[in-house]
Every structure is written in C-alpha cells, then in structure tokens.
Amino acid sequence: MKIGRIIGFAITGLCFGVLVQGEPIEFEIGQTATQEDIQGWNIDVTPNGDGLPNGQGSVDEGAKVYAAKCAGCHGPTGVEGPYNRLVGGQGSLGTDRPHKTVGSYWPYATTLFDYIFRAMPLTAPQSLSANKVYALVAWILYRNDIIDENMVLDRFTLPTIHMPNRHGFQISPHMGISLPTSP
C-alpha cells in the first residue's frame, strides 16, 4: 500500500514535471487518424441536405429492408411497436393524446436519413448501405402519406420533401441561429 502510494506520487510528480516544462507528452499509443478514418465518422446530414451521400432507394426496396431489420422493434407497419412509433399521428399533436412520429413530428426528411444511417438498427448501427437507408426513408415517408409510392429518393429528391410539421418548431431568437431554408 505504502509502496503503491510512493510510486503513485512519483508518477504524478513526473507527469507534472513534464507539464510544467511544457514538453509534449508522448503516450505511444494509437495512431494518427487518416483522412479516410475521419471520413467514416463525418456522416452528418444537415436539414437542407448537405452531406447526403450518393445512392438511391425506392419504397418497394424499403419495405423489404424494413421487414427484415426494423419491424421486430417498430412493428410490421411502423405503428405497433414495441419501440417508437414511426407512422401515423398526424393532427394529434395538439390533442390530449399526441402521437409523436416521423410523420406527425419530424420537421425534415433529410435528418431522418441522418438518424437511420447513424443509429439504426439499434443493435447494429451504421451497418446499412446508403441505398438501403434511402429505401427505408422512402418506405417510412410513403407509409406516412408524405410521398407517392413510385418516388425514388436520392440526395437531390430527398431535400425537396415537405414534412407536415415543418413549421411546428420555433427557434428562440436568443440562440442567434436562423432556420435552414428547405421546403
């Protein structure tokens, strides 16, 4: 115990000494991230669609991927759960029983791509290709009566979609930011 403490003090002293002298500390672990490494994490998509990758997906393809990868948690039609409801609820937000879903609540279709690409399926995030995510977004929007069943989504068409609750949010003027200009 005592020896442990002494060694502990000695190590702390050494580190402190190095810091005081202003020398860079070399831990000799890890490696410098390459542009490719960084690119793998740089996947954010903004409301106006900046950052959307190449690729495309249709409602039909989305139905298949959804059944295989999502239905178990969100229900066969996106309504049943057990986890978050993705479909329906439009017009319910102002009532006693509001249902916050993609269709009723989300202000942008573009950030739905971001969310799924980044975080779903819950047990295997970032395992889906861009094509599959475009298809899933198409299926979820179609089920919410937001797009036509023949619409194909890609980085050009997705930012043109107007979400029902697009104007249901207000940004505090004190935050000093303005709302992005998308439909």
Residues forming the site for ligand HEC (CB under 6 A): 69-70, 72-74, 83-84, 86, 102, 112, 115-116, 120-123, 136
Nearest to 141 by CA among 169, 115, 112, 119: 112
Q: Which is nearer to ligand HEC, 65 or 182 (CB)?
A: 65
- Comparing CB distances to ligand HEC, the nearer of 115 and 154 is 115
| Nearest to ligand HEC of 49, 62 (CB atom) | 62
CA distance 80 to 71: 9
Alpha-carbon gap, residue 108 to 163, rounded angstroms: 6
Q: Least distance to ligand HEC from the beta carbon of 118, Å?
A: 11
Task: Return the exposure string of 117-148: e unless at least 16 CB atoms fall within 10 Å of the residue's CB, then b.
Answer: beebbeeeeeebebbbbbbbbbbbbbbbebbe
Output 7 or 45, the one with its CB closest to ligand HEC.
Answer: 45
Ramachandran category for residue 28: left, alpha or beta (phi over 0 → left; psi -120 to 50 → alpha): left
| Cβ at position 37, least distance to ligand HEC in Å | 25
Shortest CB 174 distance to ligand HEC, Å = 26
Could you tell me the smallest distance in angstroms from the CB atom of residue 63 to ligand HEC? Answer: 12
